[in-house]
Structure 1
Amino acid sequence: MSARRWAGDLALGVRFAFAGGREGWTRALLTAVGVGLGVALLLLTTALPNALAVRQDRGNARSDITYGQDPLPKADDTLLVANLESTFRDKDIRGRELQPEGARAPLPPGLTEFPAPGEMYVSPALKRLLESDGGKLLRERLHEKIVGTIGESGLIGSAELAFYRGGRGLESRIDNGQVARIDRFGDPHPSSDRSDPVLILLVLVVFVVLLMPVAVFIAAAVRFGGERRDRRLAALRLVGSDSRMTRRIAAGEALGGASLGLVLGAGLFLIGRQLAGSVEVFRISVFPSYLNPSPALVLLVAVAVPAAAVLVTLFALRGVVIEPLGVVRTAKPTRRRLWWRLLLPLAGLAMLYPMVGMGRDSGDFNQYLVIGGVMLLLVGVTALLPWIVETVVARLGGGGVAWQLAVRRLQLSSGTAARMVNGIAVAVAGAIALQMLFAGIEGDYTKDTGFDMERAQMQVTVPREVRLDRAAAQLRGTAGVRKAYVYSEGYVGDRRDDPRITASLTVGDCASLRELADLPSCRDGDVFAVHGADDGDTQTAALAKGSGTVYLEPGYQDTGKGAEIPWSLPATLKPAASRKDMTGSRRNGFLATPKAVTSQVTPALTGQVYLDVDESVPDARDRVRNTTAAIDPLTEPVMWTSSRQSNRFASIRTGLNVGAACVLALIGASLLVSQLEQLRERRKLLSSLVAFGTRRRTLSLSVLWQTAVPIGLGLLLAAAVGLTLGTVLLRMTGTTVRVDWASVLSMTGVGAGVVLLVTLLSLPPLLRLMRPDGLRTE
């Protein structure tokens, strides 16, 4: 068969798709909508790597404070920068205070000039928040005059909350941690850590799981209106075309619909690209310019989708005989074979088996085997589901009228019913496997902080320039603060310079000190030597037996001389047994009440206030932040959490959530299109049943049963495949296999919920199709 003949037949099919009257146009439009939704999501997926890379590049370009960097001398091209990162409710705010030291000081990306003291530049999202009614509490903290907005080059996302404000007097606060002197923006030492094999495995599986349902929906979309199309093709046999030519013309019709879907998908992607600038999903936002797909990937999509339309159509027609007088499909179809359907998941397991037990210490996982194995397992769902649906519905018997109508329809077209739910089954199977993998390895990337969340939830470090007692009084008077534990902390040594023995010194009132140790008795003026901590008891005892004079903030050779403030220990030190404090650790050293230390000692200590916050008070945490900002503009409270998770692990989980939200939207939209197409095919049948007296409620229930039976079987299969894949992935990472039944049930419930929502949305069109005028024909 010549290529010219193939091209001619395909072109004829494309012509029939667009010039075949109302039927041809309707089918082409339905196919285009289904394919277009899938193409739009594919283009979005191909654009995500570039969007994430641009976000990272923007973040690196504005990097300023590098912890531990060598201090720079003041010059004409230096800038003082203070870190003012904060939080408002559950949103992070990136803030910087800038003080240029010369005419050539580096300007941050996104700014055209430096803000003066009392002025600030804000991101567009922060400006909208500050101007809204909901930003009243934040305006108390950020009360500077807004003189401009930060440009796109200085932000990592359209919804990012960020500001730059003018500062003064920062030179005395330089510590290369919160305040630093810089001569340029940008990260001079980008991270080059070796990638974690388990995290790479997670990324690979996430991409396969998110893209497989899209591919399944595109394959199903090109078969919309298949039965009517085959009946129309029978007319071609009357004018002399053979069966092969007819199949090629049918493939051409699918090619026409898929090509229109490519155009529609590109349009939907461009619309979605613009809308992305105003949407934030799981705290991730981008600018439209970030979403630029790779040209190579766009070309792959442009070629693969039409090619898949042709191949899927030819494959679907392999068992259909199109004759001049009709389509031989009403006869009992050949029973589907099981053996080759089982080969797909078995082959997938065989590809993954060599990597079982590798863990993270045996090198990277083979990405080709991972992708191939996961794909074959998920494709196995689409291969097994039609056989399972056919086998089960063939054995279903009597019941109510609605049930019998549904079962008979499923027995006549079980393949169509299975195709409708293939995508949701694949998505649920992949989601169950991923949730098992996330739950299994989460402990490796989540660490217990040890904080006692019952006693305190926030911590405020009070700088030495601020009187601790005044700051504590302001914090205690803040709405929502139940209790405040106040301490002055530092360390002492046995010598002025290069001490051999050191121990910690904590000053606080008796009530606060009892949170750190079991005190026999306590009154102002007492000093306690703490024992029973995990380490440091020997040094504390040695200092207590020394000359009686210790030195606060002793100096070292590599850091220069310290404050070297002498403090005389009292002749009598009361013993105290250490206990776990609010941070979950045990302290050693000395505990002292305020009257036991001199006026020289107190200013040299660092103030710490631990707060017990009443969460029932609205915005209690933000009120504490406002009070802290009033005490010292450069101070931000530390929010305590019971656990801390790896940023990279959390980012992958966030990416999964974003992608899953997009895939679920596609699933719902595609299922709705597919359901409407099925109802349109049965319009005359539904009208006939209504004309013969069938109640509309009965027909509506029959449509619900036609959806419920396949989706129930599909979800059972998805759960089985998902559990299998999840078990294999956990074995690959060397993790104990544990089934997270809550995740399994929740993922299955989400899939069922999407189908139920789609069914409810299709009821109004169904009621309109039940009118008697649906029997009219031309």
Structure 2
Amino acid sequence: MSLRQYARDLGMGVRFAVTGGREGWVRTTLTAVGVGIGVALLLLTTSIPRMLDARHERELSRQDLTFSAVPRPKAGDTVVVAATDTSWHDKNVRGRLLQPEGPGAPLPPGLSRFPATGEMVVSPPLRDLLDSPGARLLRERLPYKIVGTIGESGLLGPRELAYYAGAEGLEPRSGGARADRLTRFGQTQPWQREKDPVLLLMMIVVFVTLLLPVAVFIAAAVRFGGERRDRRLAALRLVGADGRTTRRIAAGEALAGAVLGLLVGAVLFLAGRQAAALVEIQGESFFPSYVTPSPALVPLVAVAVPVCAVLVTLLAMRTVVVEPLGVVRAAVAARRRLWWRLLLPLSGLALLWPMIGQGRVNGDFNQFLVIGGVLLLLVGVTALLPWIVERGVTPLGAGPLSWQLAVRRLQSSGGMAARTVNGIAVAVAGAIALQMLFAGVQSQYVKSTGHDPARAQIEVALSHRTDVTSATRAFARTEGVRASVGLATASLGDRPADPASYTDLVVGDCASLREVARLSSCRDGDMFTVNSPDYSSATDKAMRDAALRPGGRAWINPRIMGGPGLAVPLKITASLPHAAFREDSLMRSVNGLLVTPSALPAAAKPALSAQVFLRLDPALPDGREYVRNTAARVDPVSDVLAWTSTETDGGYSSLRTGLFIGATCVLALIGASLLVSQLEQLRERRKLLSVLVAFGTRRRTLGLSVLWQAAVPIALGVLLASAVGLALGAVLLRMTATPVRVDWPSVLSLTGVGAAMVAAVTLLSLPPLLRLTRPDGLRTE
């Protein structure tokens, strides 16, 4: 057969799809919508890495950290920037104070001019928030006049809360708060994070498990309306077309639907791209310009989807015999064979097996083996599911009429039911494996901070210009504060310059020092040695004893290699008692000297970094907001930190956020695919349903039969997916050298999601079912 004949048959199928009357248009529309949803989700999902990279690049472009130990000198092209980040309830507010020092001072991205002292430029969402009636405390905290808005180039996302305010009297490196002198914004050489093989493995698995259900759905979408299409093709056999020609014409119809699906997908992608500005996920928002798929992916999708439509249709038509007088589909088919279906998951396990126990100490995982192994395991679900459904529904039968109708339908067209559920099964299997992997390695990326939120909820780091005693009293008078403890820290050395031994210095009154160590007696002027459990080695104690000789001298903030240290001498008392470190100390670790205020030389105060620890009244919801307002009033460049018991690695957190976004999109796709498939099946059976109603079958019975037809394959699919997902999760955990542990709550929650999806799709399909079972459904031409 010539290529010209092949193209002519495909072209005839395309014409049938677009000019074949109402039936042709309905089938083409269903295929286009299904393919379009899949294509749009494919483009949106593959845009996630570029979205996160775009946010990271935007963050680097406005970076104002110099990482310099010595501040650069003042000049005509410098600006002093102080960080004044704050929070409003559960939302972060990025704040910066700006003090230009010459006409050539660099502007931050998104600003057209520097705000004057007492003025600020805000992001549009922050302007709206400040104008809202419930933001009184935030307006008190930001007592600046709004004179403009920050442009898109200066924001990470359209919903970010940020401001730049003008200030004066700022000094670089102001103690506990951060202030730097800059000649430019942005980081010229971004800090390169050391590659983590486990994170890279997780990233690969995330994208494979997110994209494969999309591909499965696209392959199923091109087969919508197959039964009616095959009956129409029987008419072509009457006019002389052979079996191969009808298969090529069917492929042409699928090709038309796939091409229209590409157009629908492009429209849906552009709509979703614009809607990205309206969505905030886990505190992060994205500009539409961030949502850009890889340039190589777009032409690949444009070619692969139509080719996939043709190949899938030709493959499906091999099991259908289109004769001049009808379609032979109801004949008893050979039972599906199991051996070759098991080869797929077994081959996947064979690819992953060499990396068992590799962990993060033996280099990167082989990306090709990981992708191939995970793909084969998940594709094995789609191969095994038809066999499972066929064997699972065969013995079923006895039960109510609705159950019998559903079972008989499943027994006669189990392949169609399996195709409908394939996407769900693949998604559930991948989700279970990911949940196991994330839960297993979570302890490696979620670390304890050493803070006890029951002891203190807020820590305020003050600049060196703020007196810790007066600040502590101001916080104690703040509404919602139950206790306020002020402590100051510095370093001690055994010599005024380049000391050989270091130790810590903690300054506070007796009540405050008792929050760090257990003191039997204390008066102003006393000193105590202390060491926390992590400084219990002989080397740590020797370092401390060398710097703290009773009756001798130590130097506060000694000079290091000619640096700007103060080197203030401190007289060590002859009697130096040892204090036991509290297990629930407000400071995580101390190895050195506790000093009361009168024992500290006045000249040493500029060397101290002061912190105030606060315990709040849990009954006052806005207690943290009152504290932040006091901090802004006492020291505008102070840093208010909320204590948490754990902190999460940034790369792990970003990956988890990307997984959440992608899983949300895939879940939406699964729901849409179930609904479209259900509607397509109802349309195919319109006359049969009308006949059943005409003979007295209740619509309630038909509705229940639709429920059972969806529930039984999904139940079998979830069981298979659970087995494959648990196996894949166990292998991935063994690959990362992590003990295998099943996250049963997640497995059960995913099962619940599947059940909820069945119920939702059934409810949404009831109105079309009632409409299709009206008496006019019996009418024919």
Partner of 2:43: 43
Amino acid at match of 1:632: D
CA 502–98 in structure 1, closer or farther in 2 if over 3 Å, else same:
same
How far off its partner does 1:503 sit? 4.1
Partner of 1:369: 369
How far off its partner does 1:6 sit? 0.9
The 2-side partners of 1:347 and 1:374 are apart by: 10
Partner of 1:559: 563
The 2-side partners of 1:366 and 1:589 are apart by: 49
Residue-by-residue CA offset, 1:13-48 (whole Å, 9 max, x unaligned) = 111111111111111111111110001111223433
- Is it true that 1:241 corresponds to 2:230 in the alignment? no
Partner of 2:390: 390
Amino acid at match of 1:39: V
Contact 1:556/1:562, CA 8 A, preserved across alignment: no
CA 491–376 in structure 1, closer or farther in 2 if over 3 Å, else same:
closer
The 5 Å alignment of 1:198-277 reads 198-277=198-277
The 5 Å alignment of 1:251-650 reads 251-493=251-493, 496-499=496-499, 502-530=502-530, 534-535=535-536, 536-538=540-542, 545-547=549-551, 550-560=554-564, 562=566, 564=568, 566-570=569-573, 572-583=575-586, 585-594=588-597, 597=600, 605-650=608-653
Contact 2:177/2:461, CA 8 A, preserved across alignment: no
How far off its partner does 1:746 sit? 2.0
Higher deviation after alignment, 88-97 or 387-396: 88-97
User: Normalising to structure 1: TM-score of the pair?
Assistant: 0.95
How far off its partner does 1:414 sit? 0.9
1:171 partner SS:
coil
How far off its partner does 1:457 sit? 2.2
Superposed CA RMSD in Å reads: 2.3
How far off its partner does 1:598 sit? 6.1
Contact 1:66/1:176, CA 8 A, preserved across alignment: no
Partner of 1:90: 90
Higher deviation after alignment, 281-290 or 669-678: 281-290
Partner of 2:6: 6
1:133 partner SS:
coil
Residue-by-residue CA offset, 1:647-696 (whole Å, 9 max, x unaligned) = 11111111111111111111111211111111112222222222222222
The 1-side partners of 2:595 and 2:71 are apart by: 35
Partner of 2:61: 61
The 1-side partners of 2:8 and 2:619 are apart by: 73
How far off its partner does 1:93 sit? 2.3
Amino acid at match of 1:276: A
Higher deviation after alignment, 237-246 or 45-54: 45-54
Residue-by-residue CA offset, 1:201-246 (whole Å, 9 max, x unaligned) = 1111111111001001111111111111111111111111111101
Higher deviation after alignment, 613-622 or 549-558: 549-558
Amino acid at match of 1:752: A
CA 143–520 in structure 1, closer or farther in 2 if over 3 Å, else same:
same
The 1-side partners of 2:382 and 2:590 are apart by: 61
The 2-side partners of 1:584 and 1:394 are apart by: 67
The 2-side partners of 1:216 and 1:84 are apart by: 49
Contact 1:69/1:176, CA 8 A, preserved across alignment: no
Amino acid at match of 1:739: V
CA 528–111 in structure 1, closer or farther in 2 if over 3 Å, else same:
same
CA 232–365 in structure 1, closer or farther in 2 if over 3 Å, else same:
same
- Is it true that 1:657 corresponds to 2:648 in the alignment? no
Amino acid at match of 2:566: G
**Alignment identity in percent?**
62
Higher deviation after alignment, 509-518 or 106-115: 509-518
Contact 2:175/2:462, CA 8 A, preserved across alignment: no
For structure 1, list consecutive stretches of 5 or more residues without a partner in the other structure. Answer: none
How far off its partner does 1:483 sit? 2.1
Partner of 1:771: 774
Residue-by-residue CA offset, 1:495-536 (whole Å, 9 max, x unaligned) = 555555554333334333222222223455544343675345
Contact 1:38/1:218, CA 8 A, preserved across alignment: yes
Partner of 1:755: 758
The 2-side partners of 1:584 and 1:429 are apart by: 45
The 2-side partners of 1:685 and 1:584 are apart by: 76
CA 479–771 in structure 1, closer or farther in 2 if over 3 Å, else same:
farther
Partner of 1:713: 716
CA 476–768 in structure 1, closer or farther in 2 if over 3 Å, else same:
farther
Higher deviation after alignment, 395-404 or 53-62: 53-62
- Is it true that 1:184 corresponds to 2:184 in the alignment? yes
The 2-side partners of 1:40 and 1:60 are apart by: 30
1:146 partner SS:
strand
Higher deviation after alignment, 172-181 or 631-640: 172-181
1:637 partner SS:
strand
2:450 partner SS:
coil
Higher deviation after alignment, 598-607 or 81-90: 598-607
Higher deviation after alignment, 435-444 or 583-592: 583-592
Amino acid at match of 2:95: G
CA 352–590 in structure 1, closer or farther in 2 if over 3 Å, else same:
closer
CA 145–31 in structure 1, closer or farther in 2 if over 3 Å, else same:
same
CA 696–592 in structure 1, closer or farther in 2 if over 3 Å, else same:
same
How far off its partner does 1:601 sit? 5.6
CA 343–88 in structure 1, closer or farther in 2 if over 3 Å, else same:
same
The 5 Å alignment of 1:95-114 reads 95-114=95-114
The number of equivalent residue pairs is 777
